[in-house]
Amino acid sequence: MLRVILVDHMDLRAELLKRALSEQGHEVIAVLTSSRDILERLDLLAPDVVLADMQSPDRDTIEDVRFLMHKRPCPVVMYAGASDRDSIARAIDAGVSAYVTDDIDPGDLQRVLDEASLRFEQFRHMRDELQEARTALKNRKLVDKAKSLLVSRQGLSEQDAHRALQQLAMNQRISISQAAGNVIAMLNALPEPARQHQNG
């Protein structure tokens, strides 16, 4: 069962979709007329998926979705949207999981939800992998910088500098990147004469 927010400015269409969702075992936790209403009640509603009408007047639904994906990511399905490439690209860039250019057929609703959930999980997995890669690169740079400082200011070999970081991390029960950050902060905090003395 999914907790669904339905955003549609057309009452009849909203009622048909709400009925179809309920018949398929999902809970419609809110029916709103504007995507802006989601942002005001997002933390309280905590949806599993959002179905949003792209034709809601006087609102930039794409930007509202972008904010939604930043604050509380979840699968978003947009329907009755424009079919031009730019509109679809903007929707995908904002984080929309499924973009339907026509009205959603209530009988096809479950398939659309399944596809949106799958694409959202794929996107989240890729985002997590990218974040892990960025973190690993940042940590490696910290360790390299700390080793370089230990070599230049403490006269250690690169191998000994690495061992020193490993020992510090083990003694303090922290990661080697945290140890590296501590070493960098400590050595950079030394007054200039002390630095020169270390170099000597």
pLDDT digits (tens, 9 = 90+) for 15-45: 999 999 999 999 999 998 877 777 777 777 8
pLDDT digits (tens, 9 = 90+) for 83-100: 788 888 888 888 899 988
CATH T-level topology, domain 134-199: Arc Repressor Mutant, subunit A (1.10.10)
What residues does CATH 3.40.50.2300 cover in the chain?
3-104
Q: What is the pLDDT of residue 36?
A: 75
What residues does CATH 1.10.10.10 cover in the chain?
134-199
Residue 42 structure tokens: 């997002």
CATH T-level topology, domain 3-104: Rossmann fold (3.40.50)
- Who's near 186: CB < 8 A, 6+ residues apart? none
Q: What is the pLDDT of residue 198?
A: 55
pLDDT digits (tens, 9 = 90+) for 47-84: 899 998 887 644 577 888 888 888 888 999 999 877 78
Model pTM score: 0.68
pLDDT digits (tens, 9 = 90+) for 144-156: 999 999 998 888 9
CA dist 84 → 7, 101, 115 (Å)? 22, 9, 21
Which residue, 108, 166, 39, is CA-closest to 158? 166
